[in-house]
Amino acid sequence: MRGFGDLETVLMEMVWDRDAPVTVRELFEELRHQRDIAYTTVMSTMDNLHRKGWLERAKEGKAYRYTATASREEYSARLMREALAGGGDTEAVLSHFVADMDGEDSEVLRAVVRRLGDRRPG
């Protein structure tokens, strides 16, 4: 499925992978080799990402040069904080595979793992 959201992901990845600010034209030239895509689609998607706060832009001549407002690592860290906060603000926090463990729980588990390690042959 190559939906609109997917293009946002691809474009952000391209912006993050470059160090320098980038224009829609440059991104389009790179993308058209990989997929059948229109210049206006790239432009409106970049506009969306700017409107949603993922990109900032500065006018240069007739075009904009785009940069990410935060690095991928910063976004990852932000998402983690949100997911691990446990305040019930998002439905994401309801489904952790292993819920926050208190010290005693994780100590018991650690002891199990240590014994498993000892008993492993070789």
Partner 1 sequence: MRPALLAFGYALAVAWYAPLLLTRLTAPGVSARLGLAAWSAAMASVLASALVALEFLIRAAVAGWSGLAEAVCRSVAGGACTPAVYRSAIFEFALALAAIAAALAAAVLAWRYGRSVQRVQRRTRAHAEAARITGRRLPGTPSAVVLDAAPRAAYCVPGRPATIVLTSGALAVLDRAQLTAVLAHERAHLAGRHHLLIGLSRGLAASFPAVPLFTRGPAEVARLAEMCADDAAARRSGGPALITALLAMGTGAAVPAAALAATTCAVTARLARLLDPPRPGRRVRYGLALAAVLVLLAALPALAAASAGPFAAHGLLAG
CA distances from residue 83 to 6, 27, 37, 72 in whole angstroms, order as listed: 22, 32, 35, 16
Q: Which residues bind partner 1 (CB under 8 A)?
A: 1, 5, 8-9, 12, 54, 72-73, 75-80, 82-84, 88-99, 101, 105-106, 108-113, 115-117, 119-121
CB nearer to partner 1: give 40 or 106: 106
**Nearest distance from C-beta of residue 61 to partner 1, angstroms:** 28
Question: Quick check: 79 and 71 in contact, CB under 8 A?
Answer: no
**Nearest distance from C-beta of residue 14 to partner 1, angstroms:** 12
**Nearest distance from C-beta of residue 62 to partner 1, angstroms:** 28
d(CA 16, CA 47): 16
